[in-house]
Amino acid sequence: MKTLIKNGTILTTTGEIKADILVDGEQIAAIGKDLQGPFDKEIDAAGKYVFPGGVDNHAHFEALNTDGKTTNAGYETTWCTLLGGTTTIVDFCTNEPGMSLCESIDYRINTRAKGRVSPDFALHACCVDYRGEESLAEVEKLVEMGVPTMKLFLAYKGTALYMDDTKLLAFMKEARKHGMTMMVHAENPDVLDDARDSAAAEGHYEPKYHYMTRPQWGEAESVSKAVRFATATGCPLCVVHVSCEEAGEVIKEARAKGAPVMGETCPHYLVLDPHLMDNPDWKQAVHWICSPPLREEPDREYLWKALNNDTLSILGSDNSSIPQYQKEWGFDEELGCVDFRKVPNGCPGAPDRLNVCWSYGVAKGKMTKEKFVEINMEYPAKVNGLYPRKGTIQVGSDADIVIFDPEYRGTWSLESNPNGLTYQPYEGCEQIGRAETVLLRGKVVVDDAKYVGQPGDGQFIPGKPYGMAYDLLEK
C-alpha cells in the first residue's frame, strides 16, 4: 500500500519543510517534491502541519494505583491517545502479584496488552517487589527484552511502590552496567507524611489539603538526592513529572555541572490551577489529585521557561486512567467525609498532551514549533531507545504521522476530547488546533478527527539501551 501525503508543511526540530511524504507499507519511503506514483491513496495536507506521531514518555494506562494494592484498567481507552496525535505510549509495568520484573513484562506484552492497545507501546519496568540479587540480575534481562528504562518511586512510603535508598543505589549501579536509564518519582515521603498527618490531626481532610501538604522543598530535596546518586554511580537519570521551580533549579544546576540528568514535566503542571481542588463538591475536586500536586502560577510559568531553555527536556502525560469510582475511594465511612490521603493519585491526560502544548504553548507564542517536536516526539523517543524508528519523519522511520489543523477552535469536553473516563480534567479549556488525520505505521487510524482504527493495532516496540541520557556522560 502506497500513500502520498501531499502539500503539507512538515515540522521538525530544526525548521519547517514544504514537502510531500511517500509512505510504503509501514514505513516512510521518500520525502520530497514530485514523488513518482502510482499511489493507492493520496491525502491532501494543504494548509496543515505534518509532524511525527507523539511519543509519550509517561503513561499509567494499566497500572498499580498509588495505594500499592489495586490497579486501574485502561488499555481499552488508549485509542483516545491517537485522537490526540500520540502514536506511541511508554507505559509503566509494575510487578504483577508474585511475578518477577521480567515475568511481568512478558505477561504485560503477551497477555494484558494482547488485542487491547491501539497505539504502539513500549514499557518502563517499575519495581514494586524488590527481591535483592534476583531483582538486580533482571536488569540485564530487561534490557535484552527491549525494556531499557526503569522507574522507582521515592515517595508513597508505606505502600509497595516505595523504594528506599539501598534499593535505589543498587538498581542504579546495575542499570549503569547495562545501558538502562533510571527514572524517579522524586518527593521526600517523610516531609509529605509530616505535613499530611498534621493536617489530618487538625481535622483537615478535604481534597485541597493534597496540594497544601506536598511542599516544593520536599520535591526538590528528593530530586537533589537522586541527582547525587546519578552523579556518584554514573547512572543516567530522568526525573519525571517535575512540577516546580525549586526542583527544576536542582536539575538545571546539575546539568550545568555535567551530571547525566534529564527532566520531564507534564501538561497539567503547565496549565491547571491547584485551586480546582478547592471545589466544595469533593467528587469533582478529587479529579485533580495527582503527585506532585498542581502548583501556582509562578511555578507554571517557570516550567514553560524550563522547557524552552533545556532545563527540562520532555513533556510526558503521566496519564493515570483512574475511573471515578476509584477516585471516590477517598470517602472515609468513619469520618463521613473524603480523606484526601486515600484518593488514588493521578490524572488522565495522554490524549490531551499535544493539544495542551500546542494550544497554550505554540499558539500563544510561548513555544516554537521546533521545541514542540523536540519535547513531545524526538527526545522521548531518544531517551527510550526508540529513535529513529519513532519520533521523527525520516526515510526508513515508521510512518507514524500527524496531519494537524492549526485553524481548529474548540472547547475541551469529554465529547470533543474523550479519554475513556467519565471526567475530563481540562473541561472548559480553550483548544487551538487538533489532529485531523493520524497514521500509525502507515495505517490511517484517525480520519477527519475521528478514530477509525482498532484495538490491537498497537505493537510492542522494543527500546534499545544507552538512550539519550547516556550522551550526557563524559566520554
- Kindly list the residues in this chain that would bind ligand URP in the complex (CB under 6 A): 60, 66, 185, 241, 290-291, 318, 320, 345-346
Rounded to 10 deg, the angle between the 133-144 and 165-178 helix axes is: 30
244, 216 Cβ separation under 8 angstroms? yes
In whole angstroms, the minimum distance from the beta carbon of 229 to Zn ion comes to 17
**Burial class of residue 15, CB neighbours in 10 A (0-12, 13-18, 19+):** exposed
Residue 13: contacted member of Zn ion, ligand URP, none (CB under 5 to 8 Å, by partner type):
none
Cell numbers at 231, concatenated: 552523579
Q: Which of 438, 449, 457 lies closest to 399, judged by CA?
A: 438
Instruction: Look at strands 27-32 and 20-24 and give their pairing.
Output: antiparallel
Which of 124/176 has CB closer to ligand URP?
124
In whole angstroms, the minimum distance from the beta carbon of 218 to Zn ion comes to 14
271, 222 Cβ separation under 8 angstroms? no
**Residues 309-328 vs Zn ion: string with x where CB under 5 A?**
---------x----------
Q: Who contacts 399 (Cβ-Cβ below 8 Å, separation ≥6)?
A: 3, 21, 23, 26, 27, 28, 439, 441, 442
In whole angstroms, the minimum distance from the beta carbon of 162 to ligand URP comes to 11
Residue 290: contacted member of ligand URP, Zn ion, none (CB under 5 to 8 Å, by partner type):
ligand URP
Which of 239/381 has CB closer to ligand URP?
239
Which of 384/437 has CB closer to Zn ion?
384
First to last CA, the chain: 44
When asked if residue 185 is in the footprint of Zn ion (CB under 5 A), the reply is: yes
Residue 124: contacted member of ligand URP, Zn ion, none (CB under 5 to 8 Å, by partner type):
none
In whole angstroms, the minimum distance from the beta carbon of 468 to Zn ion comes to 19
Task: List the 2-6 sheet strands across, edge first.
Answer: 27-32, 20-24, 2-6, 41-44
In whole angstroms, the minimum distance from the beta carbon of 39 to Zn ion comes to 42
When asked if residue 341 is in the footprint of Zn ion (CB under 5 A), the reply is: no
**Burial class of residue 407, CB neighbours in 10 A (0-12, 13-18, 19+):** exposed
Instruction: Look at strands 49-52 and 319-320 and give their pairing.
Output: unpaired
Which of 30/195 has CB closer to ligand URP?
195
349, 319 Cβ separation under 8 angstroms? yes
Tell me how far the alpha carbon of residue 227 is from its chain's centroid. 20
In whole angstroms, the minimum distance from the beta carbon of 396 to ligand URP comes to 34
> What's the CA gap between 254 and 285, in Å, rounded?
36
Scanning 141-149, 181-189, 190-198, 434-442 for contacts with Zn ion by CB under 5 A, the matching segment is: 181-189
Which of 130/288 has CB closer to ligand URP?
288
In whole angstroms, the minimum distance from the beta carbon of 105 to ligand URP comes to 18
Cell numbers at 356, concatenated: 495542551
Which of 88/431 has CB closer to Zn ion?
88
Residue 345: contacted member of ligand URP, Zn ion, none (CB under 5 to 8 Å, by partner type):
ligand URP
Which of 134/165 has CB closer to Zn ion?
165
**Residues 139-178 vs Zn ion: string with x where CB under 5 A?**
----------------------------------------
Which of 124/441 has CB closer to ligand URP?
124
* Sign (positive or negative) of CA dihedral 301, 259, 168, 379: positive
Which of 20/96 has CB closer to ligand URP?
96
Strand partners, 123: 91
In whole angstroms, the minimum distance from the beta carbon of 185 to Zn ion comes to 3
When asked if residue 299 is in the footprint of Zn ion (CB under 5 A), the reply is: no
Q: Which residue is nearest to Zn ion (CB)?
A: 185
When asked if residue 214 is in the footprint of Zn ion (CB under 5 A), the reply is: no
Which of 292/458 has CB closer to Zn ion?
292
Residue 125: contacted member of Zn ion, ligand URP, none (CB under 5 to 8 Å, by partner type):
none
User: 292: cis peptide before it, omega within 30°?
Assistant: yes
When asked if residue 353 is in the footprint of Zn ion (CB under 5 A), the reply is: no
In whole angstroms, the minimum distance from the beta carbon of 200 to ligand URP comes to 19
Residue 104: contacted member of Zn ion, ligand URP, none (CB under 5 to 8 Å, by partner type):
none
Which of 233/321 has CB closer to Zn ion?
321
In whole angstroms, the minimum distance from the beta carbon of 258 to ligand URP comes to 28
Scanning 4-12, 180-188, 230-238, 431-439 for contacts with Zn ion by CB under 5 A, the matching segment is: 180-188
State the residues that interact with Zn ion by CB under 5 A.
Answer: 185, 318
